[in-house]
Structure 1
Amino acid sequence: MNKLFEQRRTLLKNYLLEQEIFAVMITDPANVFYYTGFKSDPHERFMSLIMNTLSNNTYLFVPALDKEAAAQASDIKSIIPISDEQLPFEVVKNTIGNISKSIGIEAKALSYYRFKSFSDHFPFVQVVDVQPFINKQRKKKSTEEIGHLRKAIEIIEKVLEEGIKKVKVGMTEAELTGELEFLMRKFGADGPSFSTIVLSGEKAALPHGSPGARKIQKGDYLLIDFGVIKDGYCSDITRTFIIGEASEKQKEIYDIVLKSNEAGINAIQAGIPVNAFDIAARKVIIDHGYGQYFNNRVGHGLGIEIHEEPSIHEKNMEIAETGLVFTIEPGIYIPENGGVRIEDIVYINEEGKVEVLTSFPKHLKIL
């Protein structure tokens, strides 16, 4: 087992000691994976990495049915199973004893229900939100993480290349979705990273619409936005195609979105606020008179989760730094008519320059 997870926990532990926080309870499954190597969705069951900075003890609490899987995947020595009839925080208290003063939690992940149960068992402990530190730590991707992301991207681009060969006039969006998700598994994905979006014709105007029974027709936009998970890391790519023959208006809109995508990418460098990337991409669409049809942010971070920090929007003044991975995905969405989105994944490398990790061609393709 490599030392990667131990190094990540050490950075967190050092932060806790600096802040005089005496323990941490990590409950977000993505963060548990980040710090331990064990990836699991416990559903409604309790799962947590708990570290006590005073005693220097580290425990991984998992549903009993996951104990063996956790032992195989993780470098944590103390793995504590919790069976369905047990009260999770009773098991926690019996294992770790009392916690003094304060414990770090992720505010976004700890539900009120869990917090109440925790407070019943540890009534004198103050909770402190350590989410900002964890987000900051996870945001800067290591070389190893970039390798995982490249693999997930390689698979989804292979799926797209083969998948568009299956497109036929008369097939439904749902049928094409099924073909694409079959190819994901065939090419080695662990699964889709989010619900696959396949939208045709006027439905392409819905940025996050759902594929359904609409049949693909000649002259349609065909927007495909999808990704896979591989070894715990996500990919996310969007390409828009035209079926049969493109009208002049469709070509014009496509060209504007492509220019916007390229302007956003060309603006990227370390040392400037991330809002500059959104502004550069958005300006192209506004200047061509379509500003009202692009009403969402230009991108989002991704890694273990499909949406991570940073959020690339026009008011985010956070300074871009090396190691960031995020999407650039401008679009024009015209109600009752259709829409175009072109999405790439980019990385700010060690020189502070942009690298585009996606490589699927972006010129207008007629299927």
Structure 2
Amino acid sequence: VEALKIECAKPENRGYADNGIQELKDAAVKYMERFYGVKGIDPVKEILHSIGSKPAFAMFPSAFINEGDVALVTVPGYPILATHTQWYGGNVILLPLKEENNFLPDINAIDKEELKKAKLLYINYPNNPTGAVATADFFKKVIEFAKKHNIVVVHDAAYAALSYNGKPLSFLSIDGAKDVGVEIHSFSKAFNMTGWRLAFVAGNEKVISAFGHVKDNYDSGQFIAIQKAGIYALEHTEITEKIAVKYKRRLELMVEALNSAGFSAKMPQGSFYLYVGAPKGAKKGSKFKTAEDVSEYLITEKLISTVPWDDVGHYLRFSATFVAKNEEDERRVIGEMKKRLGELELEF
């Protein structure tokens, strides 16, 4: 925030940023090497900023999808790339994320005829909403798959910095990844800069070039002062480390609270979400056919906010992003949630 205050006062930061200032690209390249061990990204040709990650996902279909083309998209998940694929006359093949597969898609189960028309593959790890993480072996399979079928991989790494079991893993850290795709990093999750709207896309030179051509005809770049505040963030990864400690602490408390009410919650490997099977009813007589039914019941009866997912089974997403002043206040909030859930006497 202090960095933004300083940069806002400088007249030279008030012009168009177009496809981003070089200083941010340079800082992002150094960040990728220092934090993820990713080497060899060209700061001129293989990286561009975006006004948050959402517009980037919206723009990729503009560059790669023609009528009848296919995007392969994991579900449940962030729908932006899929939505824009359909807007351009493309088709979306949903890849279900199942608990028995550790919430990784079975890319070998995709219909061969559909694969001939596939242009994009969207994956997201650590995953929203499941909290699952990808392995190096899975990424290797994705790279081999993409090369075989000439598909561009778009890896959403919004939650990559929030990993709780070992060093965060970048898709681009795997040999051959840059040959087949790109990775999108958001400042929202790693640095608590949600409303600032800043991200960067790194990876394959041709894919970055195509993205840049589309972007250049959509926007004039994020406010330069925000980009320079982003540079400060990239150079101070202790910010992310503190954020990760906070979310891990909250999630552990939430797991205990949910399980006390009958849920089967497990500590996620990444992100700040808990993804749990939805109850089938409550002892007071309510019966639920869908996760959406449960979500509406929880907010109506006890003011507990969740996100329902009925795409692959019936699940609820609980988030650790609630407002709390300190650790004591966190315990108070989660304790209140535990109390309210217990009063419902949910049935599973």
TM-score, scaled to structure 2: 0.27
Q: As a proportion of its length, which structure holds more helix?
A: 2
TM-score, scaled to structure 1: 0.26
Which is higher, the Rg of structure 1 or of structure 2? 1
